[in-house]
Chain A
Amino acid sequence: MRSFTYARADSAADAVGRAGASGTAFVAGGTNLLDLMKADVVHPERLVDISRLPLDRIEDTAEGGLRLGALARNADTAYDERVQTRYPMLSKAILAGASAQLRNMATNGGNLLQRTRCYYFYDTATPCNKREPGSGCGAIGGVNRIHAILGASDQCIAVHPSDLCVALAALEAVVQVTGPEGERSIPFAEFHRLPGDRPEIDTVLRPGDLITAIDLPAKGFAEHSTYLKIRDRASYAFALVSVAAGLEMDGGTVRDARLALGGVAHKPWRDPEAEAALIGKPATPDQFRGAARVLLRDAKGHEHNSFKIELAERAIVRALTEAAERKGAPRP
């Protein structure tokens, strides 16, 4: 790692104040940041340790939802009884990611800010517009098996690697942020951005912003939901395609639906039109396939990842079928 200084923040305001100096990064779990620093992909001059700030609670909200502290560990969130009972899709998504050791370290806020696992982003000997704006993209025309089929640009085809975020997108979570200009709430769909011509910017956060919490609305689709992750090995691998699916059923008819894809774009991929295509319709594979085709209508493959389009369609049908059949939350 390159040289840096280390300081511990003693309050959220202190952390935000310290982040004013350029080259400053917050560190919480450290699982992604330290890895990137070792690979020399990022090289902050100052680390501000926020891991001891009192932002690690999981609390009920007045609206009947749940507030997940930004610094609550992934493992503590996934195994929280309220999360397991009321938001089983979220618990399942978290436990589908990383390893037990990493989930014990990694925080919820940090998960939102993790960087892509694109090989070219990590390999400092190759060009990458996300790592070094203007240097080019190694993945376009290179090895692109794990890359985006939706929402990519001619500058970047990287995908967001998170599982947790796919479930948060489906649940319409809200990200609470404090920063130099005060506090604000960011709907999950607006939190991550598409690469466009600024692929180096992953989210709408501004310098000095600190995530304090993630709010889950009351509606958790606990009775009919699932998280399905398709990957190259049975465990401890990033998604080729993943699906967060939540249904509200009225007998065999879909009353409400949520559908988000992971592993396919620069952000979790949702489309209200795909969900609308399910509502009021019978829960059948044909209907599910129709919704999948709406969600994937603009999908475009590259040399090595075109298989993801059909894989995503099949994964959506399977996840929605599982969600429709499931009755009651899984055992904690």
Chain B
Amino acid sequence: MAQLKASLRPATAPPPEPIPVTLTVNGVERTLHLAPWTTLLDALRLHLDLTGTKKGCDHGQCGACTVLVDGRRINSCLTLAAMQDGRKVTTIEGLTTGDALHPLQEAFIEHDAFQCGYCTPGQICSAAGLIAEGKASTDDEIRELMSGNLCRCGAYPNIVAAIRQAMAAVATKAEGAP
């Protein structure tokens, strides 16, 4: 493996200098020195030990790596950490408030919206993005706008139910807010 990796690089070129990258991850500012090819996903998992965000396909097809950057959901496997320098990243670990679960986390438990759980952090971060975008109101719209998150266990009906419940909870909370 080490040999294979070495053979992929031009023998004459020295490895590029690490790039300083500052990210505010779940409210905490972190500065890392990373190889240019470090994806945001690998920065979170390998350099910050935030292993809640999952690597599924690593090609933007499964959605397991979904995180929020400046409040918008993206595939963290298809962006370089250096490209997100200076931005705010929210992962599944950052959705709780103290010990209180996020309404989506509560709803996923209540509706049994997972089996193996591997896709769940991506599903929940994606759903948080979906609720913030405010473009879905029906189950069909939830399904369409969650189509970037695959669940091989097939928990889709329960995922839609959980998102619908959390969406209502967030709306009620917003209405009740001063």
- For B112, list chain A residues within 8 Å (CB): none
Is B147 positioned at the interface, with any CB of A under 8 Å from its CB?
A: yes
User: Across the interface, do A38 and B59 meet the contact criterion of CB distance under 8 Å?
Assistant: yes
| Contact across chains for B83 and A27 when beta carbons are under 8 A apart | yes
User: Quick one: which of B137-170 are within 8 Å of A by CB?
Assistant: 143-149
Contact of A235 among B19, B72, B130, B147 (CB under 8 A): B147
Across the A-B interface, the 4 shortest Cβ-Cβ residue pairs: A99-B148, A235-B147, A6-B36, A236-B147
Whether A30 pairs with B83 at a CB distance below 8 angstroms is yes
> Quick one: given A30-B83, A34-B79, A51-B83, are A4 and B144 in contact (CB under 8 Å)?
no
Q: A4-B37, A30-B79, A235-B143 are in contact. List 12 more A-B contacts (CB 8 A).
A: A3-B16, A31-B60, A31-B78, A39-B59, A75-B133, A99-B148, A100-B126, A101-B63, A101-B126, A105-B75, A234-B144, A236-B147
A-B contact pairs, 25 of them (CB 8 A): A1-B37, A4-B16, A4-B36, A5-B36, A6-B80, A30-B80, A30-B83, A31-B78, A34-B79, A35-B59, A38-B59, A47-B36, A49-B83, A100-B73, A100-B126, A100-B133, A101-B60, A101-B75, A101-B129, A102-B75, A102-B78, A105-B79, A235-B144, A235-B147, A236-B147
Name the A residues within 8 Å of B36 (CB-CB). 4-6, 47
Q: Specify which of A1, A3, A75, A100 lies most central, judged by the most chain B CB atoms within 10 Å of its CB.
A: A100
Question: Is B66 interfacial (CB 8 A cutoff)?
Answer: yes
Interface size class of A (residues with CB under 8 A): 20 to 34
CA gap between A105 and B74 in the complex, in Å: 6
| B16 and A101 within 8 A (CB) | no
Q: Which residues of B contact A51 (CB under 8 A)?
A: 83
B-side interface residues, number (CB < 8 Å): 36
| B143 cross-chain contacts in A, Cβ below 8 A | 235
- With A2-B8, A100-B129 in contact, do A79 and B37 touch (Cβ < 8 Å)? no
Inter-chain contact A6/B16, CB cutoff 8 Å: yes
Contacts of A104 in B (CB 8 A): 72-74, 129
Which single member of A3, A30, A35, A49 contacts B13 (CB below 8 Å)?
Answer: A3
Task: Please name the residue on chain A nearest to B85 by beta carbon.
Answer: A8
| Contact status A38-B58, CB under 8 Å | yes
* Chain B hits for A27, CB < 8 A: 80, 83
B1-22 contacts to A, CB under 8 A, are: 8-10, 13, 15-16, 19
CA distance A297 to B163 in the complex (A): 48
**Chain A CB within 8 A of B173 CB:** no
Give the CA-CA distance A38 to B15 in the complex, in Å. 18
Interchain nearest-CB distance for B46 vs A (Å): 14
Are A102 and B148 CB-contacts (below 8 A) given A3-B13, A4-B37, A38-B58?
Answer: yes
B39 cross-chain contacts in A, Cβ below 8 A: 34
In angstroms, Cα B130 to Cα A101, docked, is: 9
Footprint of B on A, CB under 8 Å? 1-6, 27, 30-31, 34-35, 37-40, 47, 49, 51, 75, 79, 98-102, 104-105, 234-236
Contacts of A101 in B (CB 8 A): 60, 63, 66, 73-75, 126, 129, 148
Instruction: Indicate whether A99 sits within 8 Å of B63 (C-beta atoms), given known contacts A3-B15, A30-B83.
Output: yes
* Residues in B whose Cβ lies below 8 Å from that of A100: 73, 126, 129-130, 133, 145-148
Residues of A near B129 (CB, < 8 A) are 100-101, 104
Closest CB of chain B to A105's CB: distance in Å? 5
CA distance A124 to B36 in the complex (A): 23
**B124 close to chain A: CB less than 8 A:** no
Residues from chain A with a CB closer than 8 A to the CB of B74 are 101, 104-105
Cβ of B82 < 8 Å from any Cβ of A? Answer: yes
The residues of B that contact A3 with a CB separation of less than 8 Å are: 8-10, 13, 15-16, 37
Q: State A122–B175 Cα separation when bound (angstroms).
A: 49
Contact indicator B9/A35 (Cβ below 8 Å): no
Compute how far the CA of A47 lies from the CA of B79 in the bound complex, rounded to whole angstroms: 12
- Chain B residue nearest to A34 in the complex (CB): B78
CB of B130 to closest CB in A, whole Å: 7
